[in-house]
Amino acid sequence: MQMQGGAAPADARDPHGYSNGLKLGSGDYAVPGVPRLVLADEHFFASLRAETLERRFTRKGDDSTAYDLQAWYGTTYNKAVVKAEGDIVKGKLAESRTELLWGHAVAAYWDTQLGVRVDNGEGPSRQWLSFGIQGLAPYWFELEATGYVGSAGRTALRIEASYELLLTQRLILEPRTELQLYGKDDPERGIGKGLAEVSAGLRLRYEINRQFAPYIGVERAGSFGRTADYVRAEGGRAQQTRWVAGVRFWF
């Protein structure tokens, strides 16, 4: 059976086959002082977001300053990601988690992440290999789940979820919860096997603009199992309510 109109020319799939040798950015299409047009995944972007930067107040007076930052640099599909979260109590770093990750887009709203994590603060530092996923779940839930493997057979799992409820175009209520589980006791850092820590809170922010928003809120945080025993042994409270005030920003 003959193709209608005859056989296709040999260079039919050549994108430059009918341009008479002209190319974008050179020859007749070159504009002095204007760089070549860059498309698709050739662009590099950078972003820094402070999810929480706040002061926490408790009835017992165990006030602290907390931060949760995330920065990335790269393209639409591949990027380097840095995550930093911690608490500062009485001018000293009580605990911190810093992660250096490589993120790769696997779907429209999901990135896989692979890298390393370092824990500092009270007690010896710990290093982990980390692997997880981060993205936007159905019904617009922000979800992050990361597993960790450390030395001496240590393992951990951290899950974080949040949701933005728009009361107005500027006033936003955000429920947020985070839980951490460990596969092995670590007495030197006050961590017990199993479900170790859970926090759940509400933050009400007012977006002066989309990139800067002060907020207030309340959060309930608790330690469980062996971790709660370690907290009590140090004279602390295993569960407490914290009032928070801070700012959320990104650029």
Q: In this structure, what token pair is assigned to residue 38? A: 């860059």
Q: In 3D, which of 226, 250, 251, 228 has the Cα closest to residue 239?
A: 228
Give every residue of the chain whose pLDDT is below 70, as ranges.
1-6, 8-31, 34-40
DSSP 115-173: EEEEEEESS--EEEEEEEEEEEETTTEEEEEEEEEEGGG-EEEEEEEE--EESSSSEEE
pLDDT at 110: 95
Q: In this structure, what token pair is assigned to residue 151? A: 């030395």
CA 166 to chain centre: 21
Alpha-carbon separation of residue 148 from 11, 95, 177, 182 (angstroms): 52, 17, 19, 9
pLDDT at 229: 95
| Alpha carbon distance 2, 214 (integer Å) | 71
In one letter, which amino acid is 50? A
pLDDT at 37: 61
Cβ neighbours, 10 Å, residue 143: 17
Task: Output the average pLDDT for the chain.
Answer: 90
Tell me if 45 sits within 8 A of 250, measured CB to CB.
Answer: no
pLDDT at 25: 63
Residues 18, 21, 22: CA angle, nearest 5 degrees = 95
Termini Cα distance of the chain? 61
| Alpha carbon distance 125, 118 (integer Å) | 7
Q: Give all domains of the chain, ordered by start, each with its CATH number.
A: 46-250 (2.40.160.40)
pLDDT at 217: 98
pLDDT at 92: 92
| Alpha carbon distance 165, 172 (integer Å) | 6
Who contacts 30 (Cβ-Cβ below 8 Å, separation ≥6)? none
pLDDT at 230: 94
